[in-house]
Amino acid sequence: MSQRNGDRARADRTRNARLHQRARIRDFRKTMQQHAPKSIDPNHKPNVDMLRTGAASNVKENQ
């Protein structure tokens, strides 16, 4: 009987730990979603010249 009660206690501890971990992950995802950047317009085309290293350095020199 003692072994059965010990197994039940161990199972309860692991279950409570698992539930607690899920709650922490849920809270973490909620905070990360709040701080996530807004979605970018899918029709937006980046300026290819600005992405090149030479063009970016020229802009910095002109300012």
| pTM of structure | 0.48
At residue 5, the pLDDT reads 79
pLDDT (tens digit, 0 to 9) for every residue of the chain, 63 residues total?
577 778 889 999 999 999 999 999 999 999 988 877 766 666 766 665 555 555 555 555 555
Locate 33 and state its tokens: 């979603």
Instruction: Delimit the domains of the chain by residue range.
Output: 2-62
H or E stretch at 18:
helix 2-34
At residue 20, the pLDDT reads 97
At residue 61, the pLDDT reads 55
